[in-house]
A and B are shown apart, each in its own frame.
Chain A
Amino acid sequence: MTSGTTRENILRVSHRTRYAYAEPVTRSFHRGFLTPRTTEFQDVHESRVTINPPAAGSTTHEDYYGNRVALFMIDAPHNWLSVEARSELTIRPEPPAFSETRHCGWNLESVRQRVLWPESSEDLRAHEFCFDSPHVFRRQEFAEYAASCFAEQTDFLTGVKDLMHRIHSEFLYDPAVTTISTPVSEVFVHKSGVCQDFAHLMIACLRSAGVAARYVSGYLVPGPNVIGAQASHAWISAYCPGTGWVDFDPTNDVLPAGRHITVAWGRDFSDVSPFRGVIVGGGEHEVAVEVSVSLE
């Protein structure tokens, strides 16, 4: 073990996906975001993806946003597919840049102006996350929903935190209500959903208010009162000039610090869905996902 990292700090993540097909799949092609990326707050020591039946071709590359993508193909008839990704990483003990006592010195309008008229290359990269994306559309109603959290003098990051809290308290966590294709506008009406819906909704509110927000996909270290540790988790990141990107988890109403493992980010789920594929044949299928995170 190298100095500075003790065994106790190391997180082990196992992410298993198993598909069972009603009829044989002749051939299949898959794309996965299964390997945590190295960020300001996390170091990835090792990652391994095991595919069964064995893949005929497997490649990885870095995508447009800097995430690790795995592409692979299975070229023999199969009735099931199992993919297991194992990683070892360390999360820095110090909390992220923002804390409740710290004010960023920007209000919503000044952030909006800066994102609209980028000055630095970081601003410009954030600019990309201001617009509609396949799952997130800007709407007047979302802008109005967000507005109550941003009084004129409210510090921007405090406002975002209030918005997170508002969503957490007004929306019910209920896995039975939505699917991957449920639009945000419907989630907004039903006032219920899962982590992905809350993340999309919060992004929609921020973008409708004119600022930049992105979708973060990852895992949670389990603990008391933690929702979403049994599967892939999703939260958001908002851009504040000067400070940079700050994460917010509307599902758990927390500022991620020490328990959130970042795998990938993008405009919304469609950019970073953990696992998607194109299959030839197969008929109906069932999928089982199992995520476990342990601290040694």
Chain B
Amino acid sequence: MNLTNLSYQSVPGHYDEFMAPDGSVRSHWRPLVDVLEGLGPDELNRRVQDSRRMVRDNGTIFQFQKDVDGHRDRPWPLDLVPIVIDRAEWDFLAAGVAQRARLLNLILADLYGPQTLLHDRLLPGELLFAHPRFLRPCSGLQPGNGVWLTVYAVDLARSENGSWWIIGDRTDAPTGSGFALENRLVTNRALSEAFEASNIRRLSGYFRTHRETLARAATRNHDNPRTVLLSPGPDAETYFEQALLARYLGYTLVEGSDLAIRNRRVFLKTLGGLLPVDVVWRLQNSESCDSLELGGGSAGVTPGLLDCVRGGQVTVANALGSGLAESPALMAFLPNLARRLIGEDLRIPSVATWWCGQEGQCAEVLDRIGELVIKPTFPGPRRERTFGSELGTEERDALRDAILGHPHAYIAQEQIPLSTVPVGIHGSLSPRFMVIRAFAVSDGQSWAVMPGGLARVSPSLESRDVTVLGGGSSKDIWVVGETDELPITLLPSVPRPIGVSRATFDLPSRVAENLYWLGRYAERLDAAARLIRATVPLLFGESSRSSSALRGTLGFLEDLGYVQGKPDGPGPQQLEEALERAIGMAVAESVRKGSFGWQILKLQRTAHLLRDRLSLDAWNIVNRLQSDYAAGNLLTIERGLPELLDRIVIALTGFSGAVGEGMTRGDGWRFLDIGRRLERALQVIELLRRGLFHEAEDERARIELLLVAADSTMTYRSRYLTSLQANLTIDLLLIDDANPRGLCFQLHRLKEHVERLPEVDTASRRSAESRRVTDAIAAVELADLGSLALVREGRREGLGQLLDRVSDDLIQLSEHLTRDYLTHARLSHQ
């Protein structure tokens, strides 16, 4: 394959990163191209598929705005062919990025301090005073580490003559470094030959600096500061990268509700109590960080955080209020500000920017509106913009009028003809427009720039929108050239795909609560799937079933709430039809609370909340479960439905294995298992109560179903070698402590768990949780099988009473757990 001649053509009027004007491949791309050519189109295509699978298996997703159904996750778009940048050129860019970080940091320090830039008329006052992101409560504060911009990101574009321009600054809570890391991990693996051949600079040094910088940023507890990564939560577009960064850098990923503020100090709410936090790396905007002083938001968003900063007790990075420097209007004044503040000219210019609030500038903008990009002076969260070139005459006039009406509200920028890079499509290469995002982290003295970054490319040559929301894709950036670095990795050498990667005493209560519910939902769904599946053979049995067996089954399902409506008649045919309907409805129903589909949705949602805690296998199982179920809506009992039920039961078994076996035996696992055991116990109670409390006409059908649903048929047959009897079933499911599906077994496991939980109340020897479980065990163990099985006036009163007592104990247990460990109500009494 000859990539150069056959498959790739540069675009006139645009600089091409890959191909020189004479049609030859630029020399620093040569090693990569040699490898790609060596692979050939088929193999390259296979590598592309590999990379997509890796992204999917890693669960790397970018989340779009929530729609009515909940969430819209899309696989993170990664184009396998990296961008190659020569080391000398990169050094130039890195110096420019570091210079700009230094400058913007000084600007923030001045505007939140003495405001000399306004007094000296280097910046119009309006750009500060009217800026909604000028957070006055942050004024006069010194960031704990003395730096406003601990982390900085910048968007760079290259124009047709090959020169670079800065087109955007991210100063508040810059995103993308985690996606850059993910792109590197995947690209490196899928194109390992090329990676080794190309002498590429590593990213790990950047992240090490990041970790060291934040460790030094603590104002107290210098030896062993606790750092948390503050996230807006799983609904954020970039939650995946936040989870990845937390894992990679060893920070606890928290949401605002995981933090407690007491006496101007920040604490992490954990199962073991409150643990002091020294450094907060926030990946949510400043305005969402303190609902008391910084406006907006609910009680969940750490009211009082700013006062902790004011008291010098915690360092928040980036410093609260740093979003001010993202204003594009600032770019119009930056050259003068650079000369004043650092005595230098900008190494990389900003894209030409006019603020219409200045009279001469406004006239020029109105004149050239067709070739400019118009943006609000103070951009909103969506960073709206209008391309003058895309407007019709009327729209253009309307925009002119709008600008004339409120000139101060608009800025205009030159539209840079973006450079092009090759993307791999169907084994060949095609050009797309690109913008690169570079990252810098303060090392205390200056800013270290990541040797690489996140490249974003347009979906086609018709679009200049390189955002993921706009359909764009992303790439790794390879900085190639001589280097003397040693490889460093922050990841453990053996992949640690599963579970809690931090000491379990750091486990936030919220995570414990979600794990508990994950266990409960998985078990509940398992019970429902097994029960429904157990009824299917009745319709396909080799010997035709008796009407009484069908009636017994229908009656049981009705008692459990799975049947609505009566059979059309008493004959076997009508009963079979009714049963078929019941099964179809039970599986298809997805809206009603407690229904099958509802449970799958709950399971999936809870797993989503634990996205950063679950192994990839476990996550994949849940996702497949959801998509299998969604695709199974049209299945019938003859075609596919039994197989779907099989798949669900098997998937849940796999899920229990992936989650249960893969997690460290810490408090997180313990809460998950408590959830499972508690739910399984409640399910057995429900089966016994609905199945055997009232004596039924054909009890054998019920018992058989009961045993299958409780996955205890094999045990029954191996133990009793006899026909199905109510008393033996009660013994096996209730009293026998060796049956892993039985009630007694669950109670013993629960007892072991609750006795190992952190102590809540040292005053009494036994916790309330332990007392409840002990009572349930005593009730079950002291019960007399004869009186449990005894039928009087059609009812087994003894059984009913025991089940009531145990289920009451279990419900109380659940309430105690929630109160003592999960909601932190007790902390407010301290």
Contact = CB atoms under 8 A, between A and B. Distances in A.
A71 B118 contact: no
A192 B386 CA distance: 40
A124 B120 CA distance: 11
A127 interface: yes
A118 B125 contact: yes
A278 B129 contact: no
A59 B311 contact: yes
Interface stretch (A73-81, A106-114, A175-183, A227-235): A73-81
Interface stretch (A26-34, A95-103, A146-154, A247-255): A26-34
Interface string B286-309: 000001110100010001100100
Contacts of B304: 29, 71, 73
A128 interface: yes
B561 interface: no
A271 B134 CA distance: 13
Interface string A22-53: 00001101110000000000000000000000
B118 A56 contact: no
Contacts of B346: none
Contacts of B115: 124
Contact of B130 (A31, A76, A132): A132
A280 interface: yes
Nearest to B301: A278
A10 B453 CA distance: 66
Nearest to A134: B295
Given A31-B292, A277-B292, A57 B303 contact: no
Interface stretch (B257-265, B500-508, B797-805): B257-265
Given A131-B126, A131-B130, A277-B292, A124 B310 contact: no
B117 to A, nearest CB: 11
Nearest to A78: B828
B299 A280 contact: yes
Given A64-B136, A64-B137, A77-B828, A278 B299 contact: yes
Contact of B261 (A59, A73, A132): A73
Nearest to A131: B130
A278 B292 contact: yes
Interface in A1-38: 26-27, 29-31
A64 B139 contact: yes
B828 A124 contact: no
Given A63-B137, A71-B292, A29 B303 contact: yes
Interface residues of A, number: 32
Nearest to A30: B292
Nearest to B293: A31
Given A121-B119, A277-B292, A57 B828 contact: no
B307 A75 contact: no
Question: Which of A27, A64, A278 is the most central at the interface, judged by chain B CB atoms within 10 Å of its CB?
Answer: A278
B829 interface: yes
A226 interface: no
Given A31-B292, A73-B261, A127-B125, A63 B136 contact: yes
Given A64-B137, A277-B292, A278-B303, A124 B119 contact: yes
A279 interface: yes
B136 A26 contact: no
Interface in B228-281: 261-264
Interface in B112-133: 115, 118-119, 125-126, 129-130
B687 to A, nearest CB: 38
B786 interface: no
Nearest to A26: B828
B357 to A, nearest CB: 11
B137 A127 contact: no
A57 B295 CA distance: 21
B461 interface: no
B489 to A, nearest CB: 43
Interface in A257-280: 270-271, 276-280
Contacts of B129: 127-128, 130-131
Given A118-B125, A124-B125, A280-B299, A57 B825 contact: no
Given A124-B125, A131-B130, A278-B299, A71 B263 contact: no
Contacts of A270: 295
B140 interface: yes
Contact of A57 (B119, B125, B264): B264
Contacts of A121: 119
A65 to B, nearest CB: 8
A77 B828 CA distance: 7
Interface in A123-142: 124, 127-128, 130-132
Given A29-B303, A73-B304, A271 B130 contact: no
Given A26-B825, A127-B129, A57 B136 contact: no
Contacts of B261: 29, 73
B291 A27 contact: no
B264 A59 contact: yes
Contacts of A276: 292
Interface string A59-92: 1010111000001010111000000000000000
Contacts of B828: 26-27, 75-77
B291 A278 contact: yes
Contacts of A279: 299
Contacts of B140: 64
A57 B262 contact: yes
Contacts of B292: 29-31, 71, 276-278
Contacts of A64: 136-137, 139-140
Interface in B806-825: 825
Contacts of A271: 136
Contacts of B295: 270
Nearest to B139: A64
A194 B130 CA distance: 26
A56 B262 contact: yes
A124 B118 contact: yes
Interface in B303-329: 303-304, 307, 310-311
Contacts of A26: 825, 828
Nearest to A129: B129
Question: Which of B262, B263, B304, B311 is the most central at the interface, judged by chain A CB atoms within 10 Å of its CB?
Answer: B304
A276 B304 CA distance: 13
B263 A56 contact: yes
A276 B140 CA distance: 22
A109 to B, nearest CB: 17
Interface string B17-59: 0000000000000000000000000000000000000000000
Contacts of B264: 57, 59
A57 B263 contact: yes
A59 to B, nearest CB: 6
A280 B256 CA distance: 13
Contact of B307 (A71, A127, A128): A71
B264 to A, nearest CB: 6
Nearest to B300: A280
A26 B303 CA distance: 14
A29 B305 CA distance: 11
A77 B264 CA distance: 19
B513 to A, nearest CB: 16
B727 to A, nearest CB: 50
Nearest to B138: A64
A280 B259 CA distance: 14
Interface string A208-236: 00000000000000000000000000000
6 contacts: A29-B304, A57-B264, A64-B137, A75-B262, A277-B292, A279-B299
Interface of B: 115, 118-119, 125-126, 129-130, 136-137, 139-140, 261-264, 291-293, 295, 299, 303-304, 307, 310-311, 825, 828-829
Q: Which 5 interchain pairs have the tightest Cβ spacing? A: A131-B130, A29-B303, A64-B136, A278-B303, A128-B129
Given A76-B829, A131-B126, A280-B299, 19 more contacts: A29-B261, A29-B303, A57-B264, A59-B264, A59-B307, A64-B137, A64-B139, A64-B140, A73-B261, A73-B262, A73-B304, A76-B828, A77-B828, A124-B125, A127-B125, A131-B129, A270-B295, A278-B299, A279-B299
